[in-house]
Amino acid sequence: MHKLTLAEQLAGLAAKQFSSEELTLDYLARIERFDSRFNSYITLAPETALEAARAADAAYARGDAGALAGVPIAHKDLFCTAGIKTSCASKMLDNFVPPYDATLVSKLADAGVVMLGKTNMDEFAMGSSNETSFYGRARNPWGTDCVPGGSSGGSAAAVAAGLCAAATGSDTGGSIRQPAALCGITGLKPTYGRVSRYGMVAFASSLDQAGPMARTAEDCALLLQAMAGFDPRDSTSLDAPVPDYRATLNDSLEGLRIGLPKEYFGGALNPAMEAGVRTAIRELEQLGATVKEISLPHTGLAVPCYYVIAPAEASANLSRFDGVRYGYRCENPRDLYDLYTRTRAEGFGTEVKSRILIGTYALSAGYYDAYYRKAQQVRRLIRNDFVEAFKEVDVIAGPTTPNPAFCFDELSDPVTMYLEDIYTIAVNLAGLPALSLPAAFVGDKPAGLQLIGNYLSEARLLNIGHRFQQVTDWHQRRAPGLD
Amino acid sequence: MEWETVIGLEVHIQLSTQSKIFSGSSTAFGAAPNTQASAIDLAMPGTLPVFNEQALNYAIMFGLALDAEIGKRSVFERKNYFYPDLPKGYQTTQLAEPIIGPGHVDIEVDGVTRRVRIHHAHLEEDAGKSLHEDYHGMTGIDLNRAGTPLIELVTEPDMRSAEEAVAFLKKIHAIITYLDISDGDMSQGSLRCDANVSVRPRGQEEFGTRVELKNINSFRFVERAIKCEVTRQIDLIEDGGTVVQETRLYDADRNETRSMRSKEEANDYRYFPCPDLLPVVIDDAYIEALRGRLPELPAARQARFERDYELSAYDAGVLTAERAVADFFEATAAACGAPKLAANWIMGDLAAQLNKEEVSISAAPITPELLAGLIKRIQDNTISSKIAKQVFEAMWAGEGNADQIIEQRGLRQLSDTGALDKIIDEIVNASPDQVAQYRAADEGRRKKLLGFFVGQVMKASRGQANPGLVNELLTAKLDG
């Protein structure tokens, strides 16, 4: 059953070929059997999962099942789940049990999903390798000595290993797309504001966006359908109608204009990756698309710009973790200053601390103009690059990452690792939607094709992804040793 | 040397919105600690702020009352600092683009009008409260207040005396209570004030070093704190010292200010625009709609009182300084039809009693209806003004309305000529010597001697005789 896509599982449940309880038990058993290899889950919720599964089965029996009733999924451990620990993979929140659901969690629950548990991630979503988790590294199903990517590495690994039908992720600089690419699954980062951020623990508020991670574009469409929409509790959520994403999946790609940014090819790009991506793009041409080279001249500024804005916002967002109201508190604080400094020194990991320091520095008197304000100006230039590009093309294609999954401790220099996000970060700075599709293999590791669309063009991106997946089988490949 | 005081004020006004500025929690005062703190107010992970439109509307109305520019685009920023009663580790406030731009307020002290310029006023959230008592060496945190909407108003250094500072603050109090955007209650912290105070030799252009005074939470303390700080600064300079830029706390018990922190210890707040909130963009139509909803403001009401009720400028000024007083006056005047008498009673006996008992006019046991009932009985000569004071006291004590008290206590003025004639006859018959003296006296002395008879009659009637009528009847009797 775990080999079925989410769409196929829904069909099977509706046809009563199997029950949600059976499906859920199957996944729980697989997690029990395999997850010690991947460490993709931080917390499992078998009781509530089985309860939800039985409720879904009852709904099918009554004939009033929700759109996603009975499919077992996992939530990245930064989406608040009422009554279930939400840790952000940090010691700081190791004891945190939220009294509320994130909007995304409740919307998916309303659609009937079964939540198996909470997935591993980089601490507070800060990282591209899952190496910063307080709960240990999640590992890549295509090679456990390699990273699954990050920060949504646990979600990507769990989907790739068949330990859930699909998962949620969040993407601040590539945190859905990069692990999706590295684990050979499909991941969509929607337009900024398309999915509510309420209840998603904030990393960088102006960049964070939640999205689906699944086997296929069609599965992503099904999930996004339930996730998307205006939320009065999130002032930055978009009050725009949510289209029927599944209805346009089979639309023709005839006449689709694809732009290939010259800045995304060559340079740091692994030649084997480039070859794979170019082959994938030729598949799209076969389907009727036309291709032209374009330029996104400020691409090189995206990473430095991001590493000012994201840490600046994070430095304030993470101030609430002070040991006063919830979360970790140091033992026997002598006084208030001691409470603050030891709680935060002991509760946060190294990467989080370094980003708080960077962000605090960038906002400090005397540096604000040189760093934060300048970065905001650069952000506008990067956004304008895309606005200009979308006057000529419908979608921008390129690699999701410059390299396939790297091994643990391989990229010990943080800046080198930051540069692995070179193709994904600009999308967040511009607030655009982008889809990563499994599109090639480099050696025995999957590689991703990234499709960047104009604002609110998720339906088109999913349509392209779906058509691509109907003529390719990259998304059907399974990591070995998991039957 | 002659010194000149220079004062600028920072005024915090708590807005009386139903819910908090960024959450749906109630803003009501006095609930058990932390019962009005939601997940958002507690800054639980993942929670987000949503701006309260009522707070925006109140701020715009306030700005209009200050003749200020209204920011068509205003931006919330994060002011970063750690404190246990600041749950997010930053305060959401406005800095570069506030909702209210430059404006002004005119104040009058000793007949001199001065224009105090408003630098700007912005919206922000209040912090919670740290409770240091009763926790045995620990600090209690009450987040009920966290997220209550505040307007912070910053003036230019335009005031030149403690009296002017108080006049300004009273004017702000009048404006916010007229607008009904705040209860303006300083004792509950709804209106709070910090004062930047400096002195300079009279005639000198350059400002002296300023000191920020905190903890001055009543009109009286504002005046006393500024005065004692001014004296401190002048003494310091005249003794050869220099004023240090610092924040000082006013200690009302000792009537002194003491150093809280110096400029060197000032924080770098690392302000930056809050990415969770969009810029607030409004157009002229939005502002004009609110202008249409503005109530009559103190200056306009004072002018109307002078015109319609024929009150003096002074009386009209006193009565309109507080909306509640002006409302009380208008209700009383309407119910009794005697505005001048109503004004005298409100500014006289009622004000004295309110002051003595330390209650606000809205909490007074005497309502406009009760006071009007009393005034009517004075007007129709049922009671004299003197007896009226007795009735007033009884009404304050809750003994009922004027008619009930007059009836119960038998205070009705004696205006029955038959009954009065009887008393007068007795007095005149019992005082042959005084009658003889009176009759022998000339016109001028007669007036004086008449007082004896009036006094006797009043005494015999236990003060209830109508004094005018007594005079008339006595004169007729004695002269005849």
Report if residue B293 sits inside a domain.
Answer: no
B245 and B305 fall within a common domain:
no
B336 and B358 fall within a common domain:
yes
Q: Which residue type occupies A149? A: G
Q: What is the pLDDT of residue A356?
A: 98
B94 and B52 fall within a common domain:
yes
B9 and B149 fall within a common domain:
yes
With residue B401 as reference, give the H or E element that holds it. none
Residue bearing the bigger pLDDT, B275 or B321: B275
B77 and B126 fall within a common domain:
yes
State the average pLDDT for chain B. 92
Q: Is residue A337 within 8 angstroms of chain B, CB to CB?
A: no
Q: Residues A368, A370, A375, A380: is their CA dihedral positive or negative? A: positive
Residue B419 — pLDDT band, cuts 50, 70, 90?
Answer: confident
Q: What is the pLDDT of residue B263?
A: 65
Q: What is the pLDDT of residue B409?
A: 84
Q: What is the pLDDT of residue A461?
A: 98
B272 and B131 fall within a common domain:
yes
Q: How far apart are CA A147 and CA A158, in angstroms?
A: 13
Closest by Cβ to B276, choosing from A232, A235, A360: A235
Do the chains contact at B88 and A206, CB–CB below 8 Å? Answer: no
Mutate to test the interface with B, among A317, A321, A335, A361 (most CBs of B within 10 A): A317
B468 and B388 fall within a common domain:
no
Beta bridge partners, B151, equal B13, B123
Q: How far apart are CA B234 and CA B226, in angstroms?
A: 12
Q: How far apart are CA A180 and CA A437, in angstroms?
A: 8
Q: What is the pLDDT of residue B472?
A: 84
Whole-number Cα distances in Å, A138 to A93, A238, B358, B405: 18, 33, 68, 86
Closest by Cβ to B39, choosing from A100, A318, A363: A100
Whole-number Cα distances in Å, B65 to A37, A180, B288: 68, 57, 13
Backbone angles phi, psi at B123, to 5 degrees: -95, 145
Do the chains contact at B45 and A79, CB–CB below 8 Å? Answer: no
B440 is in which domain, residue-wise?
417-479
Backbone angles phi, psi at A88, to 5 degrees: 55, 25
Q: How far apart are CA B279 and CA A232, in angstroms?
A: 16
Q: How far apart are CA B64 and CA B294, in angstroms?
A: 8
Q: What is the value of pTM for the model shown?
A: 0.89
CATH of the domain at B433: 1.10.10.410
Q: What is the pLDDT of residue A355?
A: 97
- Mean pLDDT score, B421-437: 87
Tens of pLDDT, residue by residue over A393-444, are 999 999 999 999 999 888 778 788 888 899 999 999 999 999 999 999 999 9
Q: What is the pLDDT of residue B429?
A: 87
CATH of the domain at A228: 3.90.1300.10
Residue bearing the bigger pLDDT, B177 or B132: B177
Whole-number Cα distances in Å, B24 to A464, B127, B174, B216, B337: 42, 16, 28, 31, 46
Query: Which of B409, B443, B465 is the endpoint of a domain?
Result: B409
Whole-number Cα distances in Å, A43 to A115, A116, B170: 11, 9, 59
- For residues A152 and A138, is the Cβ–Cβ distance under 8 A? no
Domain count, chain B: 3
For B122, counting Cβ atoms within 10 Å of its Cβ (0-12 exposed, 13-18 middle, 19+ buried), the class is buried
- Mean pLDDT score, B184-207: 94
B64 and B137 fall within a common domain:
yes
Do the chains contact at A199 and B277, CB–CB below 8 Å? Answer: no
Å between B71 CA and nearest CA of chain A: 20
Å between A87 CA and nearest CA of chain B: 10
B232 and B372 fall within a common domain:
no
Tens of pLDDT, residue by residue over A321-379, are 999 999 999 999 999 999 999 999 999 999 999 999 999 999 998 999 999 999 999 99
Q: What is the CA radius of gyration of chain B?
A: 30
Report if residue B291 sits inside a domain.
Answer: no
Beta bridge partners, A195, equal A228
- For residues B370 and B402, is the Cβ–Cβ distance under 8 A? yes
Which residues of chain A register pLDDT less than 50?
none
Q: Could you give the percent of chain B with pLDDT greater than 90?
A: 71
Q: What is the pLDDT of residue A395?
A: 98
A292 is in which domain, residue-wise?
1-483
Sequence length of chain A is 483
Q: What is the pLDDT of residue B469?
A: 82
Tens of pLDDT, residue by residue over B252-274, are 899 999 998 776 666 799 999 99
Rounded to 5°, angle at Cα A118 from A112 and A121: 135
Rounded to 5°, angle at Cα B41 from B35 and B42: 85
Indicate whether B202 pLDDT > 80: yes
Rounded to 5°, angle at Cα A458 from A452 and A461: 55
- Mean pLDDT score, B37-44: 96
Beta bridge partners, B199, equal B5
B8 and B75 fall within a common domain:
yes
Told to judge if A151 belongs to the known catalytic residues of this protein, a careful annotator would answer yes
Tokens of A205: 């508020």
B96 and B187 fall within a common domain:
yes
Q: How far apart are CA B436 and CA B70, in angstroms?
A: 81
3-state secondary structure of A40: coil
Q: How far apart are CA B11 and CA B69, in angstroms?
A: 18
Closest by Cβ to A202, choosing from B46, B82, B87: B46
Domain count, chain A: 1
Report if residue B162 sits inside a domain.
Answer: yes
Interface predicted TM-score of the whole assembly (ipTM), two decimals: 0.96
Residue B431 — pLDDT band, cuts 50, 70, 90?
Answer: confident
Told to judge if A189 belongs to the known catalytic residues of this protein, a careful annotator would answer no
- Mean pLDDT score, B305-312: 95
3-state secondary structure of A84: strand
3-state secondary structure of B191: strand
Q: Which residue type occupies A83? A: G
Query: Which of B409, B432, B464 is the endpoint of a domain?
Result: B409
Q: Is residue A144 within 8 angstroms of chain B, CB to CB?
A: no
Do the chains contact at A315 and B80, CB–CB below 8 Å? Answer: yes
Q: Please identify among residues 356-375 of chain A the ones whose CB lies closer than 8 Å to any CB of chain B.
A: 360, 363-365, 368, 372
Q: What is the pLDDT of residue B137?
A: 78
Q: Which residues of B touch A86 (CB under 8 A)?
A: 45-46
B375 and B234 fall within a common domain:
no
Sequence length of chain B is 480
Tokens of B70: 């209204």
Closest by Cβ to A235, choosing from B39, B50, B272: B50
Report if residue B292 sits inside a domain.
Answer: no
